[in-house]
Structure 1
Amino acid sequence: MRRDVDWVDRHLLAGADERACLRFDRLVTRTELRELVADRCEELAGAGLCAGGTVSLQLPPGLTYVVNLLAAWRLGAQVSLLDHRLTPFEAERAMSVIRPQLLVSSAEPRQHLLRGYTSVTAAITARDGDPAGTDHALLQLSSGSTGPSKVIGRTAEDLLTEIDRYRQLAGYPRPGERIVLLASMVHVLGLVGGLLYGLAADVSLVVPAFLTTKDILAAVEAGPEPATILGVRFHIDLLASVDEPPSLPRLARMIVGGEVVPPRTVRAFAVKYPDVPLGIMYGMTEVGVIATDLAGEHRPALAPVSGMALREESGQLLVARPRTPYVGAAAPGRWIDGWLCTRDAGTVDEETGLVTVTGRLDSQVSIAGLKVDLTDVEQTLVELPGVTEAVVLFDGGIEAFLAVADGHSADGIADELAGRLAAYKRPRRLHLLPKLPRTASGKVVRDLSVLRAAVEEAAVKAGA
């Protein structure tokens, strides 16, 4: 299959030589970035990576991640992205599905979870993987609420089309401005809306040293150009928690995506930052950005971005796509006759075309801005020694109700789980029961009040 191996040079690395395009612990110019990418291309090619090859990146945000991503694409390889916070167990499970020929990962121990970026040395590991079977430049693994994990693929053309959609958004950063990036570069908002758009549109990308209010606000004030903060709902709450925010004349706007933002969160931000517009975007890994309201004109509704057609069916939002975004094993019912089922609840106004998203239809939740699939947590729990059944629910935090064999404790299960799930995915409460309550038809009960009542009843019996 034909691969465009020049798109990185033409769209992402081009530009004025001495213009600063990235800032982590220091400024990185276009010239330096091009040199670093060229050097890494030689190293990856020496390890066997070539056009049509496959590589997984499991690197923390930072210059090393950016250089390896661009170099692999520049060689014409298909890149799959793994969150650096995944445990070895989770990473191996993902790669058993994706089957990369190479893994590029950090040679250093894991860093602090609140680090905005990390300087690491990349280690290349050869694996018994397969060459690319599709023309996708990017693969990302997504766990659905039911069934096996799904591999999502996007071509170079898909990514460039999305970048153009960002260019057409009134209020999005323009050439010569800055994006202060809080969203993860591994996921679609931070990757395309932040990193790739910044490189393509000559918008400087700034990543704070730590994802704390002090470091975020310092990053905003670190340059004279107008700055836009790009993050998720969690970051709104974080910035709104400041007792007395300083004057921020360079902060032009904050934009968030990833989940529905409730009105109380919008109000809390407006109280602390009355002169800073709060923009909201809606998108998904399979498509990228879908609809936005960057100026607060339509809240809670959003306007579809250029070239994006949506409709509502039985309370679910559907997005028009010419081909399925899923790679490999089919995802039954997700892409039908040119329409992608988003699994998001919402409405589309027939007269204006405005979209209102009301929530998720499946089990995916957000923990501090990071997506967690409760079914994935549940399936991991039942694989642990002594756990016979599990129900995982979300009520402000993740709770797990477990049926366990005699001799197994909550502490022991938590220790086992720590080696299999990233910290943000782990339940904050483990409730152990001899058996889980069931309905009259024999199905495990998933009603939170019933399960909690069962826990209380078990505690009373244990104390009798």
Structure 2
Amino acid sequence: MREYVSDLLRRYGDDVPVFSHQHTVTHGRLREAVAGEAGLLAAAGVGEGSTVAVQVPPSFTRLEVVLALWTLGARVISLDPRFTPAERAVEHALARPQFVVRASGRSGGLFRERFELVTERRADGVPALTRHRLVQFSSGSTGTPKVIGRSTESVVREVLRFASAEGMARRGERMLLLNSMTASFGLLGGLLHALAEGVHLVFSAGQSAEEVQRAAARYQVDLVTGVPVHFARLAAAPDRAALRTVRAAFAGAEPMPPEVAESFARGYGFTVGECFGTTETGALTLDVAGTSRPSVGRPLSDTTLRVRDGLVEVALDESPYLHDDGVRRYADGWLRTGDRGRFDARGGLVLLGRSDSLVVVRGSNVDLTEVEAVLRSHPLVAESIAVFDGVVEAYVSAGADAPTEAEMIRWCTERLAEFKLPHRVHVLPVLPRTSGGKLVRNARVLAAAR
């Protein structure tokens, strides 16, 4: 990883822009900043094989620290700085970093260009014993996070997949990156792709439609990437002029609700595409133009997918998991993604929901994604989640004119068979999300949000 990242940092001239927010960072300034951070980290004892947890808020500083660590040969453990001390303690116990790099003082979750840093050494940390140089955690949308390792080879292959993907950002183009910096796409499809291909990354001051539109208009961006909720917000407050320079936009992390894609297309005159992948594998399909829907596109180069017994599996050389949690997801060279799917006549992958979305209620099969779609079809409902914990319970988000639980039950009764009906429908202002932007599907977390 040391050699690969060092090469990426040398590819473009000093005056070529690479990051923009309120100010712009050039490749020359980035090289200087990374070298400076690397010197400070080395002085603190970080070197080849060191394990370092990065819990710096979204910023130029965070990106520079990650790159600096890789130029030292360290293992980067990517943590979400918004997590509570209890959540952070769980991830520290699982990953056991030797060092923690964090921002000094208090910080929010919004993008800020610079932070002062503190590097702490942990007495219980252990060095890297495997080739993995990036460690991430699963989204935790359904339960305890899994510890996932990516080797240098795995990272390089994914960056090459993005480089060869039709419609992806190219040299000189400006890409507004709304994805989390702790997630796979933010790091590989965002940061490393930009360094590899000469793409200029733009960061928004916040996540509201107005802030995103302002950033897009100011920097006249060519592409916008994010998660479905970003495009739902943009669709709800259309400003075609703000996105007039945008040639394409696509979402990842979770399936794009068809109604959001349709609403966005009506408001802006072009379609949102989709990227499908997992933390374990990185990106697997990418339909930038959004013309393959209902499929999420054909498998990207250098990936092998199959559907066996209705479940999507991916060929991998080795297990991506650093800890055995007792669940057999990887066997005989194939990783079970947990997604149900099928291939269409053109070879596109059509996702049919999560494998755990099929439940049995009183002897009959119920697809929770069908229940969610019915709930979401209510004109006052923005988002919906259905979970099964002995009975089907549903959660919906709605604005000021929120429907009552009784109204939602009546709505479902008119559209679903009796055995499919949710036992309860909880109406909330917003639904909880993971750090990567996915809707939480853990029944206990949802119950706590009531």
Tell whether the structures are fold-level matches, with TM greater than 0.5: yes
- Cα 1:13–1:222 shift into 2, 3 Å: farther
Q: Which digits, 9 at most, give the CA deviation of each residue in 1:34-85, with x for residues without a partner?
A: 1111111111111111101110000111111011100111100011011111
- In structure 1, the partner of 2:353 is 359
- In structure 1, the partner of 2:197 is 201
Match of 1:295 among 282, 289, 293: 289
* Separation of aligned partners in 2, 1:93 and 1:253: 38
* Separation of aligned partners in 2, 1:98 and 1:272: 44
- Cα 1:12–1:317 shift into 2, 3 Å: farther
Give the superposed CA RMSD: 3.2
* Separation of aligned partners in 1, 2:449 and 2:312: 35
* Separation of aligned partners in 2, 1:228 and 1:147: 33
- In structure 2, the partner of 1:395 is 395
Give 1:395 deviation, angstroms: 2.5
**TM norm structure 1:** 0.76
- Cα 1:330–1:40 shift into 2, 3 Å: same
Q: Which digits, 9 at most, give the CA deviation of each residue in 1:240-267, with x for residues without a partner?
A: 0115543533111111111111221111
Match of 1:283 among 269, 277, 281: 277
Matches within 5 A, 1:233-312: 233-246=228-241, 248-274=243-269, 276-301=270-295, 302-312=297-307
Tell me the number of residue pairs that the alignment of Structure 1 and Structure 2 aligns: 385
* Separation of aligned partners in 1, 2:96 and 2:49: 13
Give 1:333 deviation, angstroms: 1.8
Give the AA of the match of 2:355.
L
Contact 1:11 1:200 in 2 (8 A): yes
Match of 1:211 among 187, 207, 210: 207
- Cα 1:362–1:75 shift into 2, 3 Å: farther
- In structure 1, the partner of 2:411 is none
Give the AA of the match of 1:285.
T
- Cα 1:234–1:431 shift into 2, 3 Å: closer
* Separation of aligned partners in 2, 1:149 and 1:282: 19
* Separation of aligned partners in 2, 1:184 and 1:146: 19
Identity between Structure 1 and Structure 2 (%)? 34
- In structure 2, the partner of 1:45 is 42
Q: Which digits, 9 at most, give the CA deviation of each residue in 1:367-413, with x for residues without a partner?
A: xxxxx9x99xx9xxxxxxxxxxx99965336xxxxxxxxxxxxxxxx
- In structure 1, the partner of 2:379 is none
Match of 2:91 among 90, 94, 108: 94
* Separation of aligned partners in 1, 2:94 and 2:334: 25
Give the AA of the match of 1:212.
S
- In structure 2, the partner of 1:338 is 333
* Separation of aligned partners in 2, 1:90 and 1:241: 33
Matches within 5 A, 1:32-431: 32-111=29-108, 113=109, 115-117=110-112, 119-128=114-123, 129-142=125-138, 149-224=145-220, 226-246=221-241, 248-274=243-269, 276-301=270-295, 302-329=297-324, 332-349=327-344, 352-362=346-356, 395-396=395-396, 427=445, 430=448
- Cα 1:10–1:297 shift into 2, 3 Å: same
Contact 1:116 1:182 in 2 (8 A): no
- In structure 2, the partner of 1:438 is none
SS, match of residue 191 in structure 1: helix
* Separation of aligned partners in 2, 1:392 and 1:94: 30
- Cα 1:331–1:230 shift into 2, 3 Å: farther
Contact 1:151 1:326 in 2 (8 A): yes
Give the AA of the match of 1:210.
G
Give the AA of the match of 2:335.
L
Q: Which digits, 9 at most, give the CA deviation of each residue in 1:123-163, with x for residues without a partner?
A: 11110200101111100122668886421000122111111
**TM norm structure 2:** 0.78
* Separation of aligned partners in 2, 1:39 and 1:145: 37
- In structure 2, the partner of 1:442 is none
SS, match of residue 22 in structure 2: coil
- In structure 2, the partner of 1:435 is none
Give 1:430 deviation, angstroms: 4.8
Q: Which digits, 9 at most, give the CA deviation of each residue in 1:177-221, with x for residues without a partner?
A: 011011111101212111111121100000011112222112112
Query: Which deviates the most, 98-107 or 245-254?
Result: 245-254
SS, match of residue 327 in structure 1: coil
- Cα 1:144–1:332 shift into 2, 3 Å: farther
Contact 1:24 1:207 in 2 (8 A): yes
- Cα 1:148–1:273 shift into 2, 3 Å: closer
Rg: which structure is higher? 1
Contact 2:49 2:127 in 1 (8 A): yes
- Cα 1:430–1:212 shift into 2, 3 Å: closer
Give 1:428 deviation, angstroms: 6.3
Give 1:119 deviation, angstroms: 2.9
* Separation of aligned partners in 2, 1:321 and 1:81: 22
SS, match of residue 137 in structure 1: strand
Structure 1: 5+ residue stretches without partners: 367-371, 379-389, 398-420, 433-464
Give the AA of the match of 1:110.
S
